[in-house]
Amino acid sequence: MKENTILKKFVLAVSLIGPGLFLIGYNIGTGSITTMAKVGAEYGMTLTWALALSCIFTYVLMVAYGKTTLVTGNTALFNIKHKIKNGAVLAIYIIVALIIGEIMALMGIFGIIADLIQEGSRLLLGGEGFSTLWITAVLVTVLYTLFWFGSYKVFEKVLVFFVALMVGSFVVVFFLVNPSISTIVGGLAPSIPNEPGVLQLIAAIAGTTCSAAVFIIRSTVVVEKGWKIQDLKNEKKDAMVSASLMFVLSVIIMAVSAGTLHVMGMKLDNTVEMISLFEPLGGRVAAFILILGIVGAGISTVFPIILIAPWLISDYTGQPRDIRSPMYRILGFIGIMFGFGMQFMETRPPLLMVFSQAFQAFILPAVAIPVFLLINNKILMKSHVAGLKENIGLGAVILFSLLTAYFAVAEFF
């Protein structure tokens, strides 16, 4: 009887944090792994403060977007389009910017996956391994076939296993590396190393954690969850769980990199260098665990990325979301074809991946400022208009978004 009670409580707890778990799976992927690993490799734990701020502000924006959705019953883009002056133009800008950012991320993901599978084939079979072009072609064909038939849910169960394996492995290596708590806490003190590239990495930390896409998608997930304003307390708990787990998982990846790549003097400019993250485990088994985990994490984010364009268009136009409709299938095909992008570029996948995350930070003000206007609209929000604490938090988010947007482009001028 006691075991049944515990099980029921666990199921209830999970049901209350549905959108948060969805966004963790969407957000903690190849982009987060690459960005946090590169940060740890180059600067150790000194930029932990940027990660902490990003996760705090992620919570603030999640709650704000969730609250406006709960009160109005409408998604983010709908509210921006109809409830803000010139909102239609802003909504279109958000759609275009998010699609561009996700396309860059998709190219980086396929590049990293192809490189790692090629390295895995080298370890397994010897020689030069499989061609990255053929690896990409097979992945694109298989994934689009699954997308066409709407079979992702079945495939997702396998991917969840690989992602869980990777996360578990990072936790094991974290304890093997055994970073001192003082080193992690010391990284919470704001400091910016005087080195080229550091500003873009700070922007990438913000972009991969406090991602503009997450807040737009979150409102849609909250609507589909069927939550109402009486579920505001659950929405806040959900946001807290999501932001907290993002911080914990990201800081673990950063610490593992700081204890391996940073010690070895690597900067993670090359995908294959990522295998050295699991050096403490040693041997080919460790390498395969990392390869399978990152490949699983990468593939699990491909479907949400190729869905983002039709999903946002449906949101903007008010059309139903039907994955088997002609629009979804055509735009999904166009999107997944960008997976071949790295085959025609000289830039290494990790560098493009970090740049794509920094680009997300560049468009963050476009989603931070609108929600401030929406949540302070008395006609729209009625008695649920933002209070002093919420406005202070959102004001801080806007300042942070403007600063990281500047960091994203500062080193190009």
In tens, the pLDDT along 56-79 reads 999 999 999 989 999 988 888 989
Other beta carbons less than 10 A from residue 390's beta carbon: 17
CA dist., res. 317 & res. 267, Å (int): 44
Mean pLDDT of the region 334-363: 89
CA dist., res. 61 & res. 91, Å (int): 17
Pick left, alpha or beta for residue 44 (phi over 0 → left; psi -120 to 50 → alpha; otherwise beta). Answer: left
Quote the pLDDT of residue 23.
52
CA dist., res. 33 & res. 244, Å (int): 16
CA dist., res. 339 & res. 113, Å (int): 10
User: 9: burial class by Cβ within 10 Å (0-12, 13-18, 19+)?
Assistant: exposed
Question: pLDDT of 17-70, one tens digit each?
Answer: 444 444 555 556 677 888 999 999 999 999 999 999 999 999 999 999 989 999
CA dist., res. 110 & res. 353, Å (int): 10
> Residue 210 corresponds to which tokens in the numbers above?
């406090």
Whether the CB-CB separation of 366 and 93 falls below 8 Å is answered with yes
> Residue 348 corresponds to which tokens in the numbers above?
């290494």
CA dist., res. 183 & res. 215, Å (int): 32
CA dist., res. 33 & res. 38, Å (int): 8
Radius of gyration of the chain, Cα coordinates, nearest whole angstrom: 21
Quote the pLDDT of residue 58.
92
Quote the pLDDT of residue 319.
78
CA dist., res. 94 & res. 92, Å (int): 5
Quote the pLDDT of residue 249.
87
Which of 19-28, 307-316, 318-327, 352-361 shows the lowest per-residue confidence on average (mean pLDDT)?
Answer: 19-28
Whether the CB-CB separation of 298 and 102 falls below 8 Å is answered with no
Tracing tokens 């061609």 back to the chain, one arrives at: 131
Residue type, 301: T
* 3-class SS of residue 386: coil
Q: Which residues contact 49 (CB under 8 A, 6 or more apart)?
A: 187, 188, 189, 190, 191
Whether the CB-CB separation of 147 and 306 falls below 8 Å is answered with yes
* 3-class SS of residue 131: coil
Q: Which residues contact 235 (CB under 8 A, 6 or more apart)?
A: 63, 66, 67, 70, 222, 227
> Residue 26 corresponds to which tokens in the numbers above?
């969407």
Whether the CB-CB separation of 106 and 338 falls below 8 Å is answered with yes
Quote the pLDDT of residue 14.
42
Question: pLDDT of 131-180, one tens digit each?
Answer: 999 999 999 999 899 888 876 566 556 666 766 777 788 888 888 888 88
CA dist., res. 56 & res. 54, Å (int): 6
In DSSP notation, 345-382 reads: --S-HHHHHHHHHHHHHHTTHHHHHHHHHHHT-HHHHG
Residue type, 217: I
Quote the pLDDT of residue 163.
67
Alpha carbon 50 to chain centroid, angstroms: 16
Query: Is a pLDDT exceeding 60 seen at residue 192?
Result: yes
CA dist., res. 291 & res. 241, Å (int): 28
> Residue 334 corresponds to which tokens in the numbers above?
């166009």
Q: Look up residue 231 and give its DSSP letter.
A: G
Residue among 265, 36, 39 nearest 166 (CA)? 36
Mean pLDDT, the chain, rounded, equals 84
Element (H, E) at 334: helix 326-337
